[in-house]
Structure 1
């Protein structure tokens, strides 16, 4: 295992000391570090020599929040990104701190895969991991910051596209959705950014989630791109509309009918649980558990998987959802093992979210 000491040096966070050691047992003494000045950041598993789940001490985490982008080595940065996320999802660090870490540093990240993964984790942190009383303001903060990052990103870069799509997914206020609309309609242009068919659909899904458009608008877009992919995005947009009628229609199309192809089911389920419509989802908790047996026995395995995992309202991340999930498992001890596994995985996700929320609130 490598251990790296990183210290601020002007505009850089540089490695100033490094040791390697063998780990054997629960405790490994490191005499080579005795007498060394404590650095700004201690990075365990430096150089990624071992398969290890690592932690950042409190000072190192604060240094990462403030200065992660100043580490020039992309491998070291990725280790810090990973450690910070693991600490967050294990309720050992604040989700709000993770949000700050990402927003302050992701704009300088050069590794495309790291950007994509981190932005997905940012959305999960903002929508389910921060304490409930902070959630609305955090979602607004995240979307505003992502829009700023999109405006500042290099022209035509992969990061520019990723920030735009992440912003569209995170939009939570009328002014943010107005930026989405203006971008899709061409009133706002970002140099180097092409609004291709897929991006146009992603922006439209965001507008649907914000109730900026309605079903006729979606149908007009589908008429212009009446392809398999267009059908998937249209199904997602319809299901994302934040009205009781739209949610009921989406639910009926997925649960009460069985004629939709796999990909349409998957995309419609994604739209159904969009965070912007979270306030409508408690009404579907009881129907969700009521449909599990029927879906499992009447659909193909893949369709059942899409419905059981995709329609689970994990975005609620609430005690009520946890208790309802536990109650179903207790009452269905004889259910097929594969079905119970899916429900257990859903339960694990909401239990983790509740633990992280408690840590964030403290």
Structure 2
């Protein structure tokens, strides 16, 4: 059943009437290993002041057994999401005893059984409002309080929370851990993890401050955990942020735990940061993967200040934490770790996400109007993260780095352990920089849309005009044929047209250095230059900006798809920056399946497979480029069986394959899934592969591969599982959806198009928003017309706003596909 929504207006009224003093939460997880038991006892004691006699606590669980108000038993008034409290005094002590439900969706307290050793693992994930799935609370970010957690779990388990353990007792079968009270934090930032986790410890010291560090994962993954690398980045980040922020790390300890079936990349719970297990690499990994993990570690670390120490009042200022963390993650990576090219990945991957989101009909300002929690859930998007971070990079260029960080330090000192809005941040930045940022904020934070910047002769033109501080790079060929910057010219843009006088150059690159947020077009001469010599551009950031310009022009229908694919085929295999290489490979594959008409699509699918295969075979043995090209070849092989015999020989050991190729379990499953999608692999083949990798990852991969087989009965079973099997975890659901869609077999799944639209309202009403969102997005049909989606939108004007937003966004993506295919 769908969870109850919470609105901004009602929560603002509640926080005006209620002041929380403290929480004590007691969880009995001692029977968690019995997976026939769906729930766990949970008891909350909350102390608060009230100016009204009536309020409510939020709780999403199985049953509320009792409610005590100021020592007296009260009637249990519980509707499945809210517990009504009556007869309140000026100061109150409320005790709620209830039963919480273990999660399989990654929302609340998630429970996982490891098939390798049958061990059970628990962890929490609450953002934006799922603490109420574990304990009764005032579920809103501006009602901060200290929390004391007391957790009972089986003997031998690691039991963790935001703070260190204060007292541990046990009876030989179970142990009870009481943690020291937290500093004031929001409910969604509290965290619990429990299970036989493997742990690696270290410490970080700065002056008189010593912070204990922990890195944890499931026991069966311990052999793959490169904890030393994680700890190196962690210490580098703590040094960097301590220096830049001028505020000591406030949360006591710093544990980082990699957890199974996670529905996010990571979450910034103070003192107990959770990460997806995808960051524990079971086999070979590219430099881009290590760089991406480092960026995520630093992103979450920045949240210890931006978001945890100072938190937004409500989710319309979500950007206050996410944009800053995204910006700081890239900045710290580039300046404090070995990943000095971090801005390349940011320019070509994160900003691509922002540009895409900002061109949808549902685009919104960085500072969005978020009226309720459902809207908040969908606003963890490319605008809140990547556009906001891009805008901050422009702000640093606008006010100066020293002044920017001076304002940040003022912000922390003024608002520590409090809640803020945009006005609070602008006040500190304006005071530090001496600039009135009202106009800047209006142009960049309070309006939506993206400018496109291009040359028109000796004039720089921008659509949707905004103030830009940017550079133009003039690039020329050296004697040995390299294409290097000979001059950089600073520009200030604000009007639609700005006259400039620039020397001639083979390549003129607007926004060189990536200081601003804008789509860039290459002029005719520059496009001709990069088409024949993109690989001669020596600066990786410049190459990233060029690839970004090419991709945006392709998505906008201004650059022919086959021209983009020709450049991708010519240059991607030899691209030395693996983050940039991976982005180009992914974009090319997307362009083939989405932007080409059917006749051209079939030809390019075969050509692209051959390009990736030959690139894999000729790449340096054991290199990241070889691995990236192998993955791209496997994905291409799901659409064309031209290399099926070679793949089978490789997987069965009948062929040595390319020298140095690390054929680890994840890559093997990619190839097996491709074979399944083209009808080459049987169920028996896939079951046999599971014998080589009978792990949680292996079982999820098997589910995907089995659902990928081009058989009408297989697709029917997958469809039924997606819609009806509520026991599927979030990862299992994703795998089934991916298998259903594998191979783009419209001949097998087009018959489900009308059934998809008929099921939307039921899915939204009956499933959690996280699971419903995955189904709505994952099953959206790749039809050849907009008729079905337009009919649904016309007939469902009363549908929940969050659901309509998802459908509208998917309609826009489909409309773009059809428009580009039609030329």
The 5 A counterparts of 1:37-76 are: 37=504, 39-76=505-542
User: Structure 2 length as normaliser, TM-score?
Assistant: 0.41
Contact 1:242 1:276 in 2 (8 A): no
Q: Does 1:193 align with 2:661?
A: yes
In structure 1, the residue matched to 2:647 is 180
Q: Secondary structure at the match of 1:3?
A: strand
1:154 to 602, 606, 620: 620
Whether the aligned pair in 1 keeps the contact of 2:678 and 2:743 (CA below 8 Å) is no
Contact 2:520 2:549 in 1 (8 A): yes
Residue aligning to 2:802: 338
Match of residue 545 from structure 2: 79
Indicate which of 575, 578, 600 corresponds to 1:134.
600
* Shift in CA distance, 179/194, structure 1 to aligned 2, threshold 3 Å: same
Equivalent-residue separation in structure 1 for 2:523 and 2:715 (angstroms): 44
Structure richer in helix, relative to its length = 1
SS, match of residue 108 in structure 1:
coil
Structure 1 distance, partners of 2:551, 2:631, is: 21
1:226 aligns with 2:694: yes
Larger radius of gyration: 2
Cα RMSD of the aligned pairs, angstroms, is 1.7
Q: Is 2:723 the counterpart of 1:255?
A: yes
CA distance in 2, matches of 1:144, 1:50: 38
- Which residue does 2:233 correspond to in 1? none
Match of 1:29 in 2: 499
Q: Which residue of 1 aligns with 2:475?
A: 6
Q: Deviations over 1:205-234 (max 9, x none)?
A: 111011111222222222442222112111
The yes-or-no answer on 1:203 pairing with 2:667 is no
User: How far 1:158 sits from its partner (Å)?
Assistant: 0.9
SS in 2 for 1:2: strand
2:765 alignment partner, one of 297, 303, 306: 297
Give yes or no for contact 1:127–1:275 (8 Å, CA) kept in 2.
no
Q: Secondary structure at the match of 1:97?
A: helix
Shift of the 158–25 alpha-carbon distance from structure 1 to 2, 3 Å rule, reads same
Aligned to 1:240: 708
Aligned partners of 1:240 and 1:277 also within 8 Å: no
Per the alignment, residue 634 of structure 2 pairs with: 168
How far apart in 1 are the matches of 2:481 and 2:649?
37
The answer as to 2:816 corresponding to 1:349 is no
1:257 CA displacement: 2.6
Task: Count residues in correspondence.
Answer: 351
Give the CA deviation at 1:276: 4.2
* Deviation, structure 1 residue 275: 3.3
The change in CA–CA distance for 1:64 and 1:275 in structure 2 (over 3 A counts) is farther
2: CA distance between counterparts of 1:278 and 1:69?
A: 37
User: Residue 126 of structure 1 contacts residue 138 of structure 1 at CA under 8 Å; is this kept in 2?
Assistant: yes
Structure whose residues are more often strand by fraction = 2
Question: How far off its partner does 1:61 sit?
Answer: 2.2
Q: Distance in 1 between matches of 2:820 and 2:526?
A: 20
Match of 2:573 in 1: 107
Give the alignment partner of residue 269 of structure 1, picking from 720, 737, 743.
737
Q: Which residue is 1:20 aligned to? A: 490
- 1:56 Cα offset (Å): 1.2
* Aligned equivalent of 2:94: none
Compared CA separation, residues 352 and 276, structure 1 to 2 (3 A): closer
Q: Please give the TM-score of this superposition, normalised by the length of structure 1.
A: 0.92
Equivalent position SS for 1:48:
coil
| Residues 596 and 821, structure 2, Cα contact 8 Å, conserved in 1 | yes
CA contact (8 A) 2:641 2:675 kept: no
Q: Whole-Å Cα distance in 1 between the matches of residues 751 and 531 of structure 2?
A: 39
Residue 129 of structure 2: aligned partner: none
**Quick check: 1:3–1:20 contact (8 Å CA) kept in 2?**
yes
**How far 1:100 moved relative to its partner?**
1.0
The answer as to whether partners of 1:155 and 1:191 remain within 8 angstroms in 2 is yes
Q: Within 1, Cα distance between the matches of 2:753 and 2:630?
A: 32
For structure 1, which segment, 182-191 or 293-302, has the greater mean C-alpha deviation from structure 2 after superposition?
182-191
- Structure 1: which 5+ residue stretches go unaligned? none
Bigger mean CA offset, 64-73 vs 8-17: 8-17
